[in-house]
Amino acid sequence: MSVGENEETAGRPADRGRLDKRRAIVEAALRVFAQVGYAQASLDVIAAEAGVSKPTIYNHLGSKEKLFRYVMTETAARSNAKTLDVLTAFPADPGRLRPGLEDLATKLVDCYCDEQSEAVRRLLYAEAVRFPDLFDAVRASGPNQFTEALAGRLARLANAGHLRVEDPVRAANQFIALVYDELPGMSALGTRPLDPEDVAKVVTAGVDTFLRAFGTDSRAPGAAAPGADGEISG
């Protein structure tokens, strides 16, 4: 919802049309920026892709730089809202910690490997020299919020004696790295599809490593986990 709009005005046909145009511009701009990069992208092409006039882009979002910054932070924020929803899968039953974390990791990876999320990630690194401040802005509007939320849930499990965590934020970052960081290389930064079986192997191995590092099970690494379903008791 843009400045000056509220729940009442945003429901009016004229305002709804304005919001729909803005969304069309943002989605078209992301596609164009992702395809050709910031330098080669033109507002004429973006306007044609969005089905609007070039002045309409200026009226909504201003210059190409302002448009790029808005597209990056807005898309990251929308993606983050979806990612935060996966925390509903966070294991509430410590007796099913491993399968619960695997379910959470699978849903998280689905969000991170979403086409728009991958496009933002590629652009963020590609344009880091041109827009050094944008990296922090995008992180603040997206991944950092999820990391903090995940850290809070890990801390609660640790306080209840089900995990051994000294630094919840670091543990959250390490969980994300373990279940995701192999995948960008496997997908060529999101430009080719991933085999679901390969993703499942990465997730399973990542959760296993996380629990070996932070779990309360005192058995030596490599020992068989108790239970047929790989559960670790609290």
List pLDDT tens digits, range 67-122.
Answer: 999 999 999 989 999 999 999 888 878 888 999 999 999 999 999 999 999 999 99
Instruction: Grade residue 14 by pLDDT with cuts at 50, 70 and 90.
Output: low
Mean pLDDT for the stretch of residues 9-18: 62
pLDDT at 133 over 80: yes
Distance between CA 104 and CA 85 in Å, rounded?
10
What's the pLDDT tens digit per position in 138-183? 988 778 889 999 999 999 999 999 999 999 999 999 999 999 999 9
Q: Are 232 and 208 in contact (CB under 8 A)?
A: no
Give the residue ranges of DSSP H helices in the chain: 13-40, 43-50, 54-61, 64-85, 97-112, 115-126, 134-141, 143-159, 168-180, 183-186, 196-214
What's the pLDDT tens digit per position in 210-230? 999 999 864 434 444 444 344
